[in-house]
């Protein structure tokens, strides 16, 4: 038997998988090229348009599949890819090349793909290659449709490990989720859309494996360690035994954590810490036990809008919010008001084309401009909240004036409902997302106007560091553990404590057990995380003491480098046995 060969790459998603590999090719290796007689150009253009329509239908199928299995947020990349195919400029560019050069549609599309890739070729790094793939991948679907070549056939049944040249959303969704053991790829970024999907699916994933595909044969046995970022080719009996033992221990640990997940997150010296979950759809209730959570710390209501062809009515929203509140009762549910703009667009609501959407018309700015949208949503939420623990969260707040304006709308909606005979709770807390740095400079004044605060670290980090994490030129500078970010978090917690207001963190930063302990030490009352991470966070809090958490916070706040902060957290992680 051939000796196992271990290839080292980059970890995208943790976990262990052992099984047969299936090599996926997103497009054929050879693109046919031939000349088109002038009298046949119109027919060839029509053939191109049909292929674009077929590709769009396929992307829509995948969007719906991911929405059902993982939620609307993860499915939005396919909506973006469909929008790329609907871009008149790109379509006209392909058609013009076809007519001017009198080449077949496959060649014209392939030339566009190569131009997109050449644009970023002078840059370096997996994140750039991932970004290039995100731009060109929809057109590869068109090329696939034109050539009418199916993917190499999957086994009729059984689970597989997928291998690809580049990690893309199409690769991640090319087989049913229940059949997917792991994904390995020669190239791809840790923060690409496909990587986000792999993590959301809970699938082990490793990228950065150059020269992998030529070493593979369909059906070859692989052992994938997503946490270590390694792939073993044709593992021998000894390696398989060791691998299975490690996988069994990991599964037993996850099961053990799940058994105690309903226990409160309380430190051994009495420090209490809330652990809630982030959701975006009723389907999310299928992937976690509500008894394990202290509530819903963030319900992303915009995805209710995204899955509909038009604005949902007040009654539609009422029914949705009521079902969420009833599923979690008597625990609290925090509904965030409509947070569109940037990377979250509605197909039926035309927003302005902006040079920098991250700093543009989004979040509460949209709601205050289109106040009827906000009023309808607040009416539905207040009606649904009767007899339940409802809280309202405002996104993208940057000033006191915005909070005052929203409060006036909120009070007006409540008064109107009472006048019309609707029952409304006497006290519905209203809080704000801390995402914009300007809030840090008026946080004490804001505390007097709100009932609670929740820090959205994903946006706060990029705004503090002036780093667009989706921009391949600078994404490597996106660092949640930058000392400036830690000090900003501490500032918010101090202000909340002084005002006697609850404060939490609902961004991805809270998913890490050691960082959750740090947040406890900084003075936060709770975190809200993806359901997958809830058992680990609760375990970490129970494994530590409030005193140790406060010592960690003091140590980290004294550090002046990212590496020093990470080292302190790594030491805490070892103490927690993670």
Strand 333-336 and strand 296-300: the pairing is: parallel
Identify the pLDDT of residue 279. Answer: 87
Catalytic positions, please?
193, 506
Residue pair 526/456 in contact by the 8 Å Cβ criterion: no
Say if residues 417 and 379 touch (Cβ distance below 8 Å).
Answer: yes
Q: Which residues are paired to 187 by β-bridges?
A: 166
Comma-separated ranges of CATH 1.10.274.10 domains in the chain: 26-147
- Give the H/E segment covering residue 304: helix 302-306
Q: Which of 183, 254, 242 is nearest to 10 (CA)?
A: 183
Q: What is the pLDDT of residue 34?
A: 66
Burial of 491 (0-12, 13-18, 19+ CB in 10 A): middle
pLDDT at 471: 60
Task: Please check whether residue 463 is in contact with residue 457, taking contact to mean a CB–CB distance below 8 angstroms.
Answer: no
**Residue 148 exposed, middle or buried by CB count within 10 Å (0-12, 13-18, 19+):** exposed
pLDDT of residue 552: 98
Give the pLDDT confidence score for residue 175 in this predicted structure. 82
Listed residue (435, 437, 479) closest to 455, CA to CA:
435
Phi, then psi, of 269 in degrees rounded to 5: -105, 20
Could you state, in chain order, the average pLDDT of each consecutive group of 10 residues for the chain (578 residues)? Answer: 71 89 65 74 90 89 80 80 86 89 87 79 49 70 74 69 84 83 85 70 86 80 92 91 90 88 93 92 82 95 78 93 96 94 70 78 92 96 97 97 97 97 96 97 97 94 84 74 98 98 92 95 95 91 96 98 97 90
Question: What's residue 32's pLDDT?
Answer: 62
Q: What is the pLDDT of residue 150?
A: 44
* CATH 3.50.30.10 domain extents, the chain: 153-255
CA Rg value for the chain: 25
Whether 227 and 12 have beta carbons less than 8 Å apart is answered as: no
Packing angle between helix 562-575 and helix 513-522, nearest 10 degrees? 100
Question: Using an 8 Å Cβ cutoff, are 252 and 17 in contact?
Answer: no
- CA gap 356, 379 in Å, rounded: 32
Q: Return the structure tokens found at 144.
A: 């696939």
pTM above 0.85, yes or no: no
For 26-147, the fitting CATH number among 1.10.1060.10, 3.30.70.380, 1.10.274.10, 3.40.50.2300 is 1.10.274.10
Pick the closest to residue 197 from 67, 285, 345 (CA basis).
67
Q: Give the position of tokens 């963190």.
A: 505
| Element spanning 339, H or E | none
Collapsed DSSP state (helix, strand, coil) of residue 578: coil
pLDDT, residue 327, reads 95
Question: Would you state the pLDDT for residue 228?
Answer: 86
Q: Do 341 and 361 meet the contact criterion of CB atoms below 8 Å apart?
A: yes
**CATH 3.20.20.60 segments of the chain:** 260-575
Per-residue buried b or exposed e for 2-34, using 16+ beta carbons within 10 Å of the residue's own CB: eebeebebbbbbbbbbbbbbbbbebbeeebeee
Question: 260-575 belongs to which CATH class?
Answer: alpha beta
Residue written as tokens 């404590």? 497
State the pLDDT at residue 470.
55
CATH number assigned to the domain with residue range 153-255, chosen from the 4 options 1.10.10.1200, 3.40.1190.20, 3.40.50.12280, 3.50.30.10: 3.50.30.10
Residue found under tokens 């270590």: 228
- The full 3-state SS of 45-106, as one line of letters, equals HHHHHHHHHHHHHHHHHHHHHHHHHHCHHHHHHHHHHHHHHCCHHHHHHHHHHHHHHCECHH
């Amino acid at each position: 038997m051939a000796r196992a060969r271990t290839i080292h790459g980059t970890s995208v998603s943790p976990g262990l998988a052992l099984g047969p590999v299936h090599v996926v090719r997103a497009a054929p290796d050879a693109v046919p090229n031939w000349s088109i007689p002038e009298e046949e150009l119109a027919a060839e253009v029509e053939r191109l348009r049909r292929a674009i329509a077929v590709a769009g239908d396929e992307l829509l199928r995948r969007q719906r599949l991911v929405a059902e299995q993982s939620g609307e947020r993860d499915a939005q990349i396919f909506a973006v890819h469909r929008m790329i195919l609907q871009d008149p400029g790109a379509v006209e560019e392909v058609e013009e090349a076809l007519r001017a050069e009198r080449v077949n549609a496959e060649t014209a599309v392939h030339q566009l793909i190569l131009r997109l890739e050449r644009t970023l070729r002078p840059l370096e790094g997996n994140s750039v290659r991932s970004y290039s793939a995100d731009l060109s991948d929809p057109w590869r679907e068109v090329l696939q449709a034109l050539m009418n070549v199916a993917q190499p056939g999957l086994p009729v049944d059984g689970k597989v490990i997928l291998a690809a040249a580049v990690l893309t959303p199409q690769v991640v969704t090319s087989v049913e989720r229940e059949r997917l053991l792991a994904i390995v790829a020669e190239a791809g970024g840790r923060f690409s859309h496909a990587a986000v999907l792999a993590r959301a699916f809970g699938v082990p994933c490793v990228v950065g494996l150059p020269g992998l595909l030529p070493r593979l044969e369909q059906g070859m046995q692989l052992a994938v360690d997503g946490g270590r970022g390694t792939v073993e080719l044709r593992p021998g009996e000894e390696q398989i035994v060791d691998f299975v033992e490690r996988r069994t221990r990991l599964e037993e640990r996850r099961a053990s954590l799940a058994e105690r997940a309903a226990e409160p997150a309380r430190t051994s010296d009495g420090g209490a810490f809330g652990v809630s979950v982030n959701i975006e759809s009723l389907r999310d209730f299928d992937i976690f036990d509500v008894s394990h959570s202290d509530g819903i710390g963030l319900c992303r209501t915009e995805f209710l809008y995204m899955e509909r062809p038009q604005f949902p009515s007040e009654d539609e929203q009422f029914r949705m919010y009521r079902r969420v509140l009833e599923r979690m009762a008597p625990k609290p549910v925090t509904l965030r008001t409509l947070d569109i703009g940037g990377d979250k667009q509605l197909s039926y609501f035309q927003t302005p084309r902006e040079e920098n959407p991250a700093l543009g018309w989004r979040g509460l700015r949209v709601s205050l401009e289109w106040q009827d949208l906000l009023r309808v949503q607040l009416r539905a939420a207040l009606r649904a909240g009767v007899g339940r623990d409802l809280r309202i969260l405002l996104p993208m707040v940057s000033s006191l004036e915005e909070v005052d304006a929203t409060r006036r709308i909120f009070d007006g909606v409540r008064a109107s409902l009472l006048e019309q005979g609707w029952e409304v709770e006497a006290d519905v807390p209203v809080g704000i997302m801390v995402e914009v740095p300007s809030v840090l400079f008026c946080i004490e004044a804001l505390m007097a106007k709100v009932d609670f605060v929740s820090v959205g670290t994903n946006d706060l980090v990029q705004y503090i560091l002036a780093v667009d994490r989706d921009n391949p030129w600078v994404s490597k500078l996106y660092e949640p553990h930058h000392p400036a970010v830690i000090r900003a978090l501490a500032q918010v917690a101090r202000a909340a404590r002084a005002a006697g207001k609850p404060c939490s963190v609902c961004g991805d930063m809270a998913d890490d057990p050691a960082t959750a302990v740090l947040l406890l030490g900084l003075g936060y009352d709770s975190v809200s995380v993806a359901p997958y991470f809830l058992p680990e966070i609760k375990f970490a809090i129970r494994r530590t003491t409030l005193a140790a958490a406060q010592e960690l916070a003091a140590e980290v706040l004294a550090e002046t480098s990212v590496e020093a902060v990470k080292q302190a957290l790594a030491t805490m992680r070892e103490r927690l046995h993670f």
